[in-house]
């Protein structure tokens, strides 16, 4: 009877092993081999993700270059001009004047937001801080043009909706141009600063050698 019980337990012990019919040493060898097979896949996956990240970073740096950035801005502005033209073409002439529908109030809201953006642009000037821009005279004209066009768009809408849409787009375009003026001025200032640092480092090295 004892022998029969031992025979009944033996299959259970074998079935509980990771690989039926293999010794413990063989089982460990198979598990280690499986892990080694997964390592190349993980390494390739990590290398692929790293390559994608590097390409993405390179693409972003290229977009920040002056020529590429200007092309991107001009392209987006052109798309905006096309959509504005389509909106003006499909805009229906109102039956009553002055027109005080829901779009009138949205136009006023857009004009106010545009004025707020212009105010944020001139905050450093109001604080007495010198703002480095590419062309100070052009910068001031663009500021005034953007503000006046935004105000005009709100009033013109009551009598000529299509013209109001065009004026609102021109106001946004002028505000975009003021932002580009600030960015180009800051980039030029950084370049001048780097050139001065390089010049001072060269003089310092020459003084040490002398």
Task: Give pLDDT, residue 94.
Answer: 72
Residues 67-103: tens digit of each pLDDT: 787 888 889 999 999 998 888 888 777 777 777 777 7
Residue 79 CA to residue 84 CA, distance in Å, equals 9
Return the domain boundaries, the chain. 1-63, 69-209
DSSP conformational letter for 83: H
**Are residues 168 and 153 in contact, defined by beta-carbon separation less than 8 angstroms?**
yes
170 pLDDT more than 90 = yes
Question: How far is it, in rounded angstroms, from Cα 116 to Cα 27?
Answer: 72
User: What pLDDT score was predicted for residue 4?
Assistant: 47
> Across residues 151-157, what is the average pLDDT?
87
* Residue 185 · residue 133 · CB < 8 Å: yes
pTM: 0.64
Question: How far is the C-alpha of 25 from the C-alpha of 188, rounded, in Å?
Answer: 70
**pLDDT at residue 79 in the model:** 92
The residue count of the chain comes to 210
How does pLDDT run across 90-147, given as a tens digit for each residue?
A: 877 777 777 777 778 888 888 888 888 888 888 887 887 777 788 888 888 998 999 8
Closest CA to 88 of 153, 174, 173: 153
């Amino acid at each position: 009877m004892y022998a029969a019980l031992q025979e009944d337990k033996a299959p259970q012990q074998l079935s509980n092993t990771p690989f039926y019919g293999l010794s413990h040493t063989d089982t460990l060898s198979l598990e280690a081999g499986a892990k080694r097979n997964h390592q190349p896949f993980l390494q390739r996956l990590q290398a692929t993700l790293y390559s994608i990240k590097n390409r993405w970073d390179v693409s972003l740096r290229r977009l920040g270059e002056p020529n590429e950035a200007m092309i991107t801005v001009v392209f987006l502005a052109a798309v905006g001009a096309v959509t504005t033209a389509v909106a003006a073409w499909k805009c229906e002439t109102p039956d009553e004047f002055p027109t005080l529908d829901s779009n009138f109030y949205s136009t006023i809201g857009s004009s106010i937001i545009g004025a707020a953006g212009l105010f944020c642009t001139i905050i450093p000037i109001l604080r007495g801080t010198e703002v480095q821009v590419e062309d100070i005279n052009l910068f001031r004209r663009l500021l005034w043009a953007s503000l006046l066009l935004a105000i005009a768009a709100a009033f013109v809408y009551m009598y000529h909706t299509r013209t109001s849409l065009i004026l609102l787009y021109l106001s946004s375009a002028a505000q975009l141009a003021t932002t580009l003026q600030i960015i180009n001025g800051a980039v030029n200032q950084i370049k001048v600063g780097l050139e001065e640092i390089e010049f001072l480092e060269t003089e310092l090295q020459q003084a040490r050698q002398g």
